[in-house]
Amino acid sequence: MRFTDKVAIVTGAGQGIGAHYARALAKEGAAVIIAELNPETGKRVADSITDAGGKALFAETDVSSESSTIAVAESACKAFGGIDLLVNNAAIFANMMRAPWMDVDLAYYKKFMDVNMNGILLMARAVHKTMAERGGGVILNQSSSAAWSAGGYYGLAKLGVNGLTIALAKELGAKNIRVNAIAPGPTDTEATQNNVPPDVLKMLLAQMPLSRIGDTQDIVNSALFLLSDDASWVTGQTWCVDGGQVLRP
């Protein structure tokens, strides 16, 4: 029960890895705000947590809208008295449009970066004051092994996430707010099943030292460590949880 009396916002928690983060945090005692764009999936996850005896609230949220990020922070404070933990997991990933740099529709590209990269900044801006008032907090950003291995705008946004993780860690450290990122490799979610062609996945897995697809629990285990006091002197880091897909000296 590492998160008893803690209040956590998890963005994009309506499905996939985000839903697993939310359930795991609630299981260890946190009150969890499901900050999700899709009301149907978001409510379902919040209900599943409360039905299991946990504390959860659904807040319809678009992380690319400043007013929406401020509103979800206000809802969390009103319902649970403040915010201790922020997991910036939301991204356009399932059903993402792929296009070469020379052809990508500019409006789509800008929206993509607003959700997948700038949303992290907007959420951090919305929560940092209440975190500081409570003596500190933790922000965990969702990167990806694609930051190093994919050339498209998905990879660029995740490189931006890594950069923002360092920048925010520097700026917020004095307020005792730690900022880290987790960079999963290919993980078994509905989005991966729909998004990554089976032959591409097979090739990716064959090249990895631990040649298997990641389980959501693999990602959850590392995320909970980084969010917990066990990692109280860890900040500004991007941690690969990817079966060794990305190996950096």
Ligand X SMILES: NC(=O)c1ccc[n+]([C@@H]2O[C@H](COP(=O)([O-])OP(=O)(O)OC[C@H]3O[C@@H](n4cnc5c(N)ncnc54)[C@H](O)[C@@H]3O)[C@@H](O)[C@H]2O)c1
Q: Active-site residues: which are they?
A: 154
Nearer Cβ to ligand X, position 125 or 134?
A: 125
Pick between residue 132 and residue 196 the one whose CB is nearest to ligand X: 196
Smallest separation (angstroms) from ligand X to the CB of 58 = 12
Minimum CB separation from ligand X for residue 94, in Å? 3
Among all residues, whose Cβ is closest to ligand X?
Answer: 16
CB 137 within 8 A of CB 173: no
| Dist CA 194 CA 146 (whole Å) | 17
Our CB check for ligand X shows the closer of 14 and 160 to be 14
How far apart are CB 226 and ligand X at their closest, in Å? 14
- Least distance (Å) between residue 153 CB and ligand X: 12
3-state SS of the chain? CCCCCCEEEEECCCCHHHHHHHHHHHHCCCEEEEEECCHHHHHHHHHHHHHCCCEEEEEECCCCCHHHHHHHHHHHHHHHCCCCEEEECCCCCCCCCCCCCCCCCHHHHHHHHHHHHHHHHHHHHHHHHHHHHCCCEEEEEECCCHHHHCCCHHHHHHHHHHHHHHHHHHHHHHHCEEEEEEEECCECCHHHHHHCCHHHHHHHHHHCCCCCCECHHHHHHHHHHHHCHHHCCCCCCEEEECCCCCCCC
Nearer Cβ to ligand X (91/168): 91
Q: Which residues bind ligand X (CB under 6 A)?
A: 11-12, 14-18, 36-38, 41, 61-64, 89-94, 115, 142, 144, 184, 186-187, 189-192
Closer of 54 and 186 to ligand X (Cβ): 186
Angle at 164 between CA 57 and CA 236, to 5 degrees: 90
Residue 99: CB minimum distance to ligand X, A: 17
